[in-house]
Amino acid sequence: MKKYMKTILVKTAPVMAGYLVLGLGFGIISEKNGYGIGWAFAMSVFIYAGSMQYVAISLLSGGASVMTAALTALMVNARHLFYGISMITPYEKAGRKKPYLIFALTDETYSLVCTGESPDGLDFQKYSFGVSLCNHIYWITGSVLGAWVGTLIPFDTKGVDFAMTALFLTVFVEQWKSTKNHIPALIGVGCSVICLLVFGSESFLIPAMITIGTLLCLGRKTIERKGNV
C-alpha cells in the first residue's frame, strides 16, 4: 500500500501541478460568471473534462441551447473515443474498478496509463485506479479553491484562461519529443489551421476532425513505414 502511494504520488506530481493550476483557473472563471463553489465542485466531479468545463462556462453564461451544449461536448471530447480504444486491452481485467477507470480517463490520466504497464512491478489495475482517483481529487481541489479564493484575489485575473493553451502546448511538446514520426502531429495542426481559415472559428472543429481522420487513414502505410507510432 505504501509502495503504491509513493509511486502514484511521484508519477502524478506533474498532473497535480497542472490540475491545481488549471482547476484554479476554472474555479476563478466559474465564480466570475456566477457559478460559485457548489457549481464548480459539481462540474469537476461529474463532467471531469478540463477543456470542456472551460467551454461549459461560456455556454452557460451565453445561454446556449441543450443541443448546442451536447454537440459542443461531442466535438470537444471526441478524442476520448480514441483514448478508450487504446485502453480496451489494458483495462480488460479491471473488474469492479473498470467503470470508474473509464469515467476518469482524462488526457492526463491517459498519458500516465496508456503504455498499459505500471512502474516498479506494481499491479497495473491498482496502479491505474490510484492514478485516476488522485488526478480526479487534484482537479476537484483546484476548482473548489479557485471558486473560493477567486473573489479574494486582489489583481485582475483576465487572461488566466491561457493556462489551457499552455497545457495543450506542453503536452504537444512532450508528444513531439517522444517520437521521431511527426506526421500525425503535423496532420493535426495542418488540417486544423486550413479548416479554421476555410470554415471560420465557430465551425471548424467538425471538418477538421473529418479531414484528420481521413488523412490518417489514407496515409496509414506511409505513417506506419516511418515507424515509432
According to CB under 8 A, which one of 4, 32, 37, 59 is a site residue for other proteins? Answer: 59
Tell me how long the chain is.
229
- Decide: is 189 part of the binding site for other proteins (CB under 8 A): yes
- Binding residues for other proteins restricted to 79-108, rule: CB under 8 A: 79-89, 91-92, 98, 102-103, 105
Local structure of 23: helix, strand or coil: helix
Site string for other proteins, 109-138 (x = CB under 8 A): -x---x------------------------
Among 9, 149, 153, 186, binds other proteins (CB under 8 A): 186
Nearer of residues 71 and 137 to other proteins, judged by Cβ: 71
Compute the least distance from the CB of residue 122 to other proteins, in Å. 23
Rounded to whole angstroms, the Cα distance separating 24 from 126 reads 28
- 218 is an interface residue for other proteins by CB under 8 A: no
CA distances (Å), origin 38, targets 9, 47, 143, 149, 152: 27, 14, 10, 14, 17
Exactly one of 185, 198, 210, 218 binds other proteins (CB under 8 A); which one?
A: 185
Distance (Å, rounded) from C-alpha 206 to C-alpha 126?
A: 37
Asked if 145 and 28 count as a contact pair (C-beta separation under 8 A), the reply is no
Is the CB of 3 or the CB of 17 nearer to other proteins?
17
10-49 binders of other proteins (CB under 8 A): 14, 17-18, 21-22, 25, 34-35, 39, 42-43, 46-49
- Least distance in Å: CB of 7 to other proteins? 18
Residues 197, 191: Cα–Cα separation, whole Å: 10
Nine cell digits for residue 33? 460568471
Amino acid at 157: T
How many binding residues for other proteins (CB under 8 A)? 94
224 binds other proteins (CB under 8 A): yes
Q: How many CA atoms are closer than 13 Å to the CA of 29, on its beta-carbon side?
A: 25
